[in-house]
Structure 1
Amino acid sequence: MVVSKNQKIDFVVSWVNGQDSKWLEKYNKYSQQDTLDEKDARFRDYYIFKYWFRAVEKFAPWVNHIYLVTDNQIPEWLETNNPKLTVVDHKDIIPEEYLPVFNSSAIELNLANIDGLSEQFVYFNDDMFINKPVTKRDFFSKNGLPKDTAGLNAIQPHYDFDHIHVNNIRIINERYNARKVLKKQFFKFINPVNRELNIYTILLFFWPRFTRFFDLHYPYSLRKSEMQRVLQENKSAYLGTMENRFRSKEDITVWLVRYYSLVEGKFSVRSPRVGKIYDVKKSFKEAINDIDKSQHKLIVINDDPAIDKKRFGEISEKLKETFENKYPQKSSFEKED
């Protein structure tokens, strides 16, 4: 499949405002089921989401359409009449018996159900920002393959969420022979473009099974048909995840779709340095500097559960100030005053 200059590539972004009173009322009704770690950091809103749209309009004007996935929430400033925007409620893509759902793993597994979604799409969490001009080729190759980075990694148990890495990689090891895959896809796993990830891959190259892949928490380039295929082949794991209203140690994630592409070679190699992930507790100054100077095409502003409410407010204000300086003009996705 060849991607023409007019090939449609959509963006999908999920968003939640965990401080919203109506959402909190719904959450509190089921909150006793939320036993996985890092609760606060999963649902907090830094009130910088409008700058996500400003960045897209400035640096990726070629995007075909944007789908905003929410749980009956719409930012008060959002111009929902913009023809390039569709707000997708959870009920539009998730069967009623699983609602309400607060499990991001479950929500993301249903993105292919979005009505009208293009075959090629890029999925963003609301903490993933375009930071300088990007082209279609930053996300998909000329022949339509997702851009991604293949690297081997090891599971290092620490958080509850680490169980999910095991669930994904177990499925891959059940279906694929690691040695045959690495022999066939050698020049995608060992490639100068992969830079420092080559070191980890070489160290783990001769293990008889996959231990883990590098999960670069950047926007995900995905193909709708591939996502549907992977979930159909792993229907019981998909349904098991859907049964979990909150994140669970038994979940699989959208990363499994990536993993299929990696082991089957259905991707085009991209440097891991296309983006940078910042923990706002440990690397806040560096994140602000990257926003100011546009050092990377993609950046991720990761929350940290160790941040208290006071510091959260300070960080939120500084982020808003920094983004406002970079994007002073409203986008067409914002209401007029």
Structure 2
Amino acid sequence: MKVDIVYTWVNDCDALWLDKRKKYLYKTTEEEITNRYDDQDELKYSLRSVAKFAPWINHIYIVTDNQKPNWLKYNSKISIINHEEIIPNKYLPTFNSSVIELFIHRIPNLSENFLYLNDDVLFGRNLNFSDFYKNKTTPYAFTSSILQKHRNGRKNIDYHQESILSARQQVYLTHHKHINFAFRHSAKAYIKSRVEYVFEKYSLYLLSAANDKFRKTPVNIDYLYLYHEIAENRVKTRYIRTLKNKSLLLFNSRTYLYINKKNEELISELDSLKPFMVCMNDVTNSDNINKLFSKTSLHLKSQYEK
């Protein structure tokens, strides 16, 4: 069984990329996009976790804007995919992760089964195909609650929340079903032919945001795909418990560790916590992250590093 991984990645310190972005900043402000592009070596550690805990992965694709991590070594198992290889020229350049995600199913030779990871997501224990797929054609959708939550309308919601509500509304219009699960910011298991189907079915809606350079239009194919597939019973929801202390390990082996500036010291305990998945969102700096990982089994370079 072939399963690929797709990452999206950007080097926020690249002068050429910064100059390119600057030309379009009249459409937004620095404050509105702050922290969206920070790179603290998360991808390096995510790849180490893949090498250690999921060596069965067939191929790894890193989607970038003509960039390459300076620590990345040539390896036949990794391909760098530039935006122009998959995104129509009329939508380029883009600095919008939601637009990039619209087109990852167009990666040449991408396997039918693939995982999509942001570069801040990594694995914390040994995994296999059955952790992500019930069977060859049925992926798991990882949720943050066991049951669906019916919430009243909230005010002052952000882009992320607006995208969720918009996707739910689209699925309600086509299926007359209210799907109210919330999903973890984690690895997402996909079926390529189904992503293509959803893209075509909702193409007018999805492409209405394709010229949005800085993620202002709340349209996201990830949420739309998951809600649509749940409505058609093509994915199986699977709850992942938030890991806050070691006692939870006794009750659920599928645990989710969310790391930010307030609790990043937990990185040094990865080997004992053994979370199913980890999200490092808004951490301090690469020096501190490297120091914390030095206390774990992920301190060793993978075959993907120089």
Native 8 Å contact 1:102 1:246 kept in 2: yes
Native 8 Å contact 1:119 1:223 kept in 2: yes
Q: 1:36 to 1:142 in 2, by over 3 A?
A: farther
Q: Counterpart of 1:160 in structure 2: which amino acid?
A: D
* Partner residue, 2:70: 76
Native 8 Å contact 2:42 2:119 kept in 1: no
* Partner residue, 1:93: 86
Q: Identify the match of residue 281 of structure 2 among 281, 302, 327.
A: 302
Matched, 1:61 2:31: no
* Partner residue, 1:217: 185
Q: 1:113 to 1:165 in 2, by over 3 A?
A: same
Matched, 1:278 2:278: no
* Partner residue, 1:163: 162
* Partner residue, 1:182: none
Native 8 Å contact 2:268 2:294 kept in 1: no
Q: Counterpart of 1:171 in structure 2: which amino acid?
A: Q
Q: Any idea what SS the aligned residue of 1:42 has?
A: coil
Of Structure 1 and Structure 2, the greater helix share is in 1
* Partner residue, 2:251: none
- CA distance in 1 between partners of 2:33 and 2:259 (Å): 16
Q: 1:169 to 1:35 in 2, by over 3 A?
A: farther
CA-CA distance at 1:38 after TM superposition: 5.2
Q: Any idea what SS the aligned residue of 1:158 has?
A: coil
- CA distance in 2 between partners of 1:156 and 1:215 (Å): 18
Share of identical aligned residues, percent? 32
* Partner residue, 1:188: none
Query: Which structure 2 residues correspond to residues 33-48 of structure 1 after superposition, within 5 A?
Result: 33-34=27-28, 39-48=33-42
Larger RCO: 1 or 2 (CA < 8 Å, sep 6+): 1
- CA distance in 2 between partners of 1:239 and 1:35 (Å): 23
CA-CA distance at 1:157 after TM superposition: 3.9
Aligned length: 287
Deviations 1:173-229 (A, max 9, x none): 101122xxxxxxxxxxxxxxxxxxxxxxxxxxxxxx44x321211110011111111
* Partner residue, 2:288: 318
- CA distance in 1 between partners of 2:288 and 2:54 (Å): 25
CA RMSD of aligned residues (A): 2.1
Q: Counterpart of 2:240 in structure 1: which amino acid?
A: P
* Partner residue, 1:252: 220
Q: Counterpart of 2:258 in structure 1: which amino acid?
A: Y
Query: Which structure 2 residues correspond to residues 1-337 of structure 1 after superposition, within 5 A?
Result: 7-34=1-28, 39-80=33-74, 82-149=75-142, 151-153=147-149, 154=151, 156-161=154-159, 162-178=161-177, 209-210=178-179, 212-273=180-241, 274-285=254-265, 287-303=266-282, 312-313=284-285, 316-326=286-296, 327-335=298-306
Native 8 Å contact 2:124 2:271 kept in 1: no
Deviations 1:10-57 (A, max 9, x none): 011111121222221111111222359752221001123212111111
- Consecutive unaligned residues in structure 2, runs of 5 or more: 242-253
Native 8 Å contact 2:63 2:82 kept in 1: yes
Native 8 Å contact 1:119 1:224 kept in 2: yes
Q: Any idea what SS the aligned residue of 2:116 has?
A: strand
- CA distance in 2 between partners of 1:272 and 1:318 (Å): 27
Q: Any idea what SS the aligned residue of 2:80 has?
A: strand
Q: Any idea what SS the aligned residue of 1:270 has?
A: strand
- CA distance in 2 between partners of 1:147 and 1:290 (Å): 27
Deviations 1:55-76 (A, max 9, x none): 1111100000000111111011
- CA distance in 2 between partners of 1:115 and 1:69 (Å): 12
- CA distance in 2 between partners of 1:24 and 1:74 (Å): 15
TM-score normalised according to structure 2 size: 0.87
- CA distance in 2 between partners of 1:54 and 1:239 (Å): 35
- CA distance in 2 between partners of 1:41 and 1:229 (Å): 33
Q: Any idea what SS the aligned residue of 2:63 has?
A: strand
* Partner residue, 2:249: none
Of Structure 1 and Structure 2, the greater strand share is in 2
TM-score normalised according to structure 1 size: 0.79
- CA distance in 2 between partners of 1:279 and 1:328 (Å): 17
Q: 1:156 to 1:130 in 2, by over 3 A?
A: farther
- CA distance in 2 between partners of 1:319 and 1:228 (Å): 37
Deviations 1:139-178 (A, max 9, x none): 1123431012464233644343122222111101101122
